[in-house]
């Protein structure tokens, strides 16, 4: 079984799985299914869903990811944040934020979520590792801010009609 298949992910996060989890008393796991299904699949793929609703679903995922996470503590997180590898966590978090920022810079107030390619976000984390003096991909808050700005500028330039 190929674990990278979208069909497997959709099955594992389905409403049937969520309902079964709730019926068995696994409320946290059921919430995980709902928040990820809505924040990743519905927010990107449901036809006719207004931009505001897409943003609400993405924001719910961001808030779920932030629950109980305090980046102001020392020592900082190691390889895992909320049970996710720190790279997966950062990827989920920043991709959701970037998609929300795109609504602000899109001339029509909306955009096709599939239009921006993934090269930008793939390069984002590779360059974070290059900037980190220890090679772990962990930057200061200023470094993360710079990378988010770079991402939105590059994507904004791609969306300009005269380019």
Q: Are 23 and 82 members of one domain?
A: no
Task: Tell me how many domains the chain contains.
Answer: 2
In a domain, 72, yes or no: no
Q: How far apart are CA 148 and CA 3, in angstroms?
A: 29
Q: Is residue 73 part of a domain?
A: no
Condensed to tens digits (0 to 9), the pLDDT of residues 42-75 reads 888 888 888 889 889 999 999 999 998 887 887 7
Give yes or no: residues 88 and 35 share one domain: no
CB-based contacts of 122, cutoff 8 Å, min separation 6: none
Lowest model confidence (mean pLDDT) among 10-19, 58-67, 92-101, 114-123:
114-123
Domain of residue 13 covers 1-67
**6 and 53 both lie in a single domain:** yes
**What is each CA distance from 125 to 14, 66, 74, 139, 146, in whole angstroms?**
29, 19, 23, 10, 12
Mean pLDDT of all residues in the chain?
77
Same domain, 111 and 38: no
Of 120, 139, 118, 119, the closest CA to residue 129 belongs to 139
Residues 52 and 128 in one domain: no
Tell me: the pLDDT tens digits for 108-117?
666 666 555 5
Kindly report the pTM of this predicted structure.
0.65
- Are 2 and 49 part of one and the same domain? yes
Q: Which residue has the higher pLDDT, 57 or 123?
A: 57
Is residue 99 in a domain? Answer: yes
17 lies in some domain: yes
């Amino acid at each position: 079984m190929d674990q990278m298949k979208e069909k497997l992910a959709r099955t594992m996060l389905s409403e049937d799985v969520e309902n079964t989890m709730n019926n068995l008393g696994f409320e946290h796991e059921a919430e995980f299914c709902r928040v990820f299904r809505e924040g990743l699949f519905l927010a990107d793929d449901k036809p006719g869903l207004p931009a505001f609703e897409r943003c609400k679903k993405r924001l719910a995922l961001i808030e779920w990811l932030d629950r109980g996470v305090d980046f102001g503590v020392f020592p900082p997180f190691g390889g895992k944040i909320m049970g996710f590898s720190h790279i997966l966590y950062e990827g989920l978090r920043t991709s959701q934020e970037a998609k929300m920022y795109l609504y602000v810079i899109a001339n029509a107030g909306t955009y096709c979520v599939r239009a921006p390619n993934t090269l930008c976000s793939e390069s984002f984390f590779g360059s974070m590792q290059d900037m980190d003096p220890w090679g772990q991909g962990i930057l200061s808050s200023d470094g993360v801010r710079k990378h988010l700005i770079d991402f939105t500028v590059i994507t904004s330039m791609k969306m300009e009609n005269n380019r």
